[in-house]
Structure 1
């Protein structure tokens, strides 16, 4: 009888995220660009400058058979905004991990992923652990469970949630960053399923009455026809960081009217508008987004609303899905916390017939991105973010290749299982 490995030690490795932390409040206040940096005073607590290099903290579980499995902790680009955890501080997170999390890990049974997460990520002194800790530690625990079972991470999730082994890829969504035109061309030439994000995070990019943004949307649609392969017809997904509300007005009818006009600008394309407005709290966001969704549905447009800000935790996602307060929910994985909760969030969206976009941030690492692919494929999310970074090519390679390898493994396992069943039945 084989005895499952236990955790005999834990090691930590400070590292870098793949982009930068940005102070969203300061950027909205129109700080000045100077090359790649922003000039001006940060407004969000925890920021020493408006743009700061992102950091990560790797957590390695040393198993009793001497295998070492890893997860990465970090926070998202716009930390401290929209109800999110504050910007990531390596020293603070490292100290809490050593004092609270590591002692729990050393007594955990790594063979059961969900049970191990429940034990290790339990509240401390009546408060939830920082979500960055949840995110990284749960990645490591998932890899430990997969090591014990000699399976992929996706197969562990399928087993824990009683899901069938998937056989279909999840559509890939790429984000452009500020190099919009060049990166849109890259996405089109690589036939990305969903594009381009656009990073419409300032008045300059949105324009008076939204005209600059409308021109960009039309250009993206036109460009897909100009340089795309014959028959290429992506979903157009734009993140406007609340600027429709900020510039046009916060009335749901006004916002719906603007979005409907956008859809008319690009007939035949499915149009996703992420964060059309930020109403300042989860309660207000839920109520007002439900009105916008209902107004757009009544028009029968091809436009879909995606919620991000003010919808962060698993409980938030459940509330938005049950209230039909979005057509799609971005499950921003570092903000959700444990990747077990991200998997559950996809399933909740699907139960409520709301789209599940398994997202994250450009500030993540290759390690967290590959773990996210396994969650997306196992739960069959409606789309997943190509991450990390803002360079397009690297993110598409990391996420796309991980998905391809995973599906190849699962196909091999199914074929082997069918062959073994045939041999057993014939014996």
Structure 2
């Protein structure tokens, strides 16, 4: 799909003069200026690929219309899953104002809900990378077209392109860096990605409104005549690939990215996820041998923090209570099969957790009938989400546990020993590890 420039393809014939002249006065200089202008990106003749055309662009645009809409919606759901309007510690995007109009109480069922929505969000974004790059390549002549604005309507269209292209590149770059655990942008990922998404979406909606009718006409009517196709080269180079071949190449790229990333959400395919991380490199084997995002050492937890002196403090209207791990194990124990799902897109299969129900701890704290939300605190010293808030519906769910064991074995230090939260359908960061305090009713 290259754009090789070849002066031989451009000749500017002039009618000869009466004396067998060589063209108009100053013809040599004029011809040279014309040829020089063809070497500028603002000239249609600069772009030589025969693959470009409005039909090629329209097909890619329709794929992105569906794909980017799905990625945007699942991204909003991911943000809602954090319960950002519940407590300040959950809200990594303060002052969101009207942009948080859609937030709702995140449900606990089905228990794999966040695993599905965030898996679709991240995997969909990865798979769309070749389609996005091909779409940008297909319209790049328009980005250099002069004059930059021919009318008010054209100026608005160009502005929507600026928001669209800038926003989508920012979102894809920050998102890919985040799932690679190499986020390098200044500031927190959460607000930058959130606000960037709305900037992108504003340009996306404006662009779709302007271009969708034309795209539908092109796809219904087939390839327009070349003289009506503003994206087609006026003097195309010799084809090296057909448009059908170009579509196949883009599709193959997306399938390759799918095959090398989707496995991070399935234990049987995890070794195939070559291009995306899956938590720690080696989670080990045995009952505790499943994926981990942050280890005890990475958040500066020492054996003394979780040793004999550790206590779980439970606070509520009935007072303040402190429990040892042995006392918690002596309480009624319940089991639940729940996955761990991370914002980075990886997840585990259902693990069997066992421990004390959160609603039973709420009853001890003074809420025997209708438990409220709970504020959870960890002993971890660094990193985000050392504290988190859970909604009342999450506390009431019988599968929500203060887990003490997993898969029939005591929690390992990296999985949250001596006790951790596990809640159905919640993002992994809200399943707080190394819990030391539960405060019911004060969020």
TM range, smaller chain: under 0.3
Q: Provide the TM-score with structure 2 as the length reference.
A: 0.24
Q: Provide the TM-score with structure 1 as the length reference.
A: 0.24
Q: Highest CA radius of gyration, 1 or 2?
A: 2
Higher strand residue share:
1
